[in-house]
Amino acid sequence: MKQQRDVSVVIIGAGFGGLSAAMMLRKEGVTNFRIIERSQGVGGTWYNNTYPGAEVDVPSSCYSWPHKRHVWSRTHAQQPEIRKYTEQVVTEEKLWDYITFGVSVTDLAWQDDTNEWQVTLSSGEVLQADFVISAVGLLSIPSYPNWPGYDDFKGPKLHTAAWGEGTDLKGKRVAVVGVGSSACQVVPTIAPIVDHLYVYQREPGWIMPKGDYNYSPEELERMRNESKADYLKRRRKDFHMINNSMIFGAVYKPYTSVAKKSRAFCEGYLRDVFKDRPDLLEKVMPKYAFVGKRLVFSSDFYPALLRDNVTLIPHGVERLTETGVVDSAGNETPIDVLIMATGYIPLKTVTAMNVKGRGGVKLNDVWGDEPRALFGVTVPKFPNFFMMYGPSTHGGMIFPNHHAQTLWMRSAIRAWRKGKRTFEVKPGALKLYVQWLDNEVKKTAWMESNSYVKNASGKVITQWPWDAYGYGIMTRLFGRISHSIK
């Protein structure tokens, strides 16, 4: 009988989500799984994003698996250290042999007659699987602008999400387009080495000082020698510190005391940094609601704007020429190198795959430009198909969210081993969830600004409106009862 053989699983992506799923499978005794990774290494975002200054926004202790402790070198880990940590975890968990690198999934098709997924790879290989776990990430496809003259520019064009190697910025005139998280890390890192840096800002962002620093030898020694209990206590303290402002989405709602105090703090920080430059203060002070766009954490971006060799241009890019950038005010600035910190196309990696569910229904047709999934994980008519970090799960803390998502998958696998064949969300459950989600999102500052969190019609499609603990509790309460298990 089918339930006597080992369940087969295909995991798409070897980032933190895919590796979390793989570790769950190993813990459950599942060995018949494959991880398909289009890049040549593990870590997802932290393998691909190699731009100067790339580092996490949260304390390093929170950016790790609780059972895979690590003594980080600084309060907020940088990309090389995160990548090294991820590789160490894969080695310790003996996951290397399960991963196929340099290959992507092109087609996923549910087979109604066999209750299996047919998974077609870019290499031409076709796999059969009882379950598919998509861990491709919410933000993993770079968004490239369609500026007129884009192909005419003769200098190097770099995107922060696809940096590449070999471009020397020393002594060059460089333009950075954007003032989001990646731009705020790139700018202060490269400002000391370039001849002149031009920062193009279509709209200012809300920035909170990060307070990052390298740990002292004494601090490192203390962390190396702390007990497991002390380590977990320190980790929980950092989690609580981050999560407290997000309880029931307080920081995202402009009328709450948390949001008002946070806004006042950021405004005070701005006025302090630019106390001698009122001209710059006016340009960088946001006019929209606090955290209407993603809150940026940086202690050195604003000071970098005060450098003599840095010029803030408070306009978007209108077009490119062979040797420069023309902004929306009509001014042309000669440059040698263009850096695009223009973000991602949300969920493009999921929809780029041709995913077909029951009766051949296409996920692209079900979603259109409004992707919906119960807690970002499951979609009706797509049985035994799970997403890690799917729609409406951005904005909280990624490791607790991943843990909550793997618990659903564990429930499905345990039911399958008892003779059940399919695990599928009920359409009514998703409908009720979407109604609740839309009602919560309407209360947030995201509705009052324009950013990647919205689709073309103004629907917020990426964000989770509460805190990480709320996500974990709700998935536990409603996860299993919201699904049909047959």
Whether residue 69 is contained in a domain is answered as no
Q: Exposure of 93 by Cβ count < 10 A (0-12 exposed, 13-18 middle, 19+ buried)?
A: middle
The answer on 321 and 186 residing in a single domain is: yes
For residue 19, what are the β-bridge partners? none
Residues 6+ apart with CB under 8 A from 195: 171, 172, 173, 309
| Predicted local confidence at residue 3, as pLDDT | 37
The answer on 440 and 371 residing in a single domain is: yes
Whether residue 95 is contained in a domain is answered as no
Whether residue 331 is contained in a domain is answered as yes
| Predicted local confidence at residue 451, as pLDDT | 86
| Low-confidence spans in the chain with pLDDT less than 70 | 1-5
The answer on 473 and 356 residing in a single domain is: yes
| Predicted local confidence at residue 336, as pLDDT | 98
40, 41, 44, 49: CA torsion to nearest 10: -80
- Residue where one domain finishes, among candidates 316, 340, 364: 340
The answer on 317 and 168 residing in a single domain is: yes
CATH number of the CATH domain containing 117: 3.50.50.60
| Predicted local confidence at residue 5, as pLDDT | 53
Query: Which sign, positive or negative, has the C-alpha torsion 188, 189, 191, 192?
Result: positive
Residue found under tokens 């940026």 = 296
In Å, how far are 161, 173, 201, 465 from 338, measured between CA atoms? 14, 9, 14, 35
Whether residue 224 is contained in a domain is answered as no
DSSP letter (8 states) at residue 460: B
The answer on 356 and 266 residing in a single domain is: no
The answer on 449 and 361 residing in a single domain is: yes
The answer on 349 and 335 residing in a single domain is: no
In Å, how far are 13, 174, 195, 305 from 301, measured between CA atoms? 32, 16, 18, 7
Put the strands of the sheet holding 105-111 in their side by side order.
Answer: 126-129, 116-121, 105-111, 354-356
Range of the domain at 256: 157-212+238-340
The answer on 359 and 290 residing in a single domain is: no
**In degrees rounded to 5, what are phi and psi of residue 66?**
-60, -30
- Residue where one domain finishes, among candidates 340, 366, 400: 340
Q: Are 285 and 270 in contact (CB under 8 A)?
A: yes
Whether residue 64 is contained in a domain is answered as no
The span from the CA of 96 to the CA of 35, in Å, is: 9
Nearest CA among 356, 486, 421 for reference residue 115: 421
Helix axes 16-27, 398-417, angle to 10 degrees: 40
N- to C-terminal Cα distance for the chain? 16
Whether residue 127 is contained in a domain is answered as yes
The answer on 386 and 335 residing in a single domain is: no
The answer on 189 and 276 residing in a single domain is: yes
Instruction: Give the chain's domain count.
Output: 2
The answer on 320 and 294 residing in a single domain is: yes
DSSP letter (8 states) at residue 78: B
The answer on 163 and 278 residing in a single domain is: yes
Number of Cβ within a 10 Å radius of residue 347 = 27
In Å, how far are 151, 341, 405, 422 from 414, measured between CA atoms? 53, 43, 15, 11
- Residue where one domain finishes, among candidates 295, 318, 340: 340
Query: Which sign, positive or negative, has the C-alpha torsion 73, 75, 79, 85?
Result: positive
Whether residue 428 is contained in a domain is answered as yes
pLDDT tens digits, residue range 315-341? 999 999 999 999 999 999 999 999 999
Mean pLDDT of the chain: 94
Whether residue 268 is contained in a domain is answered as yes
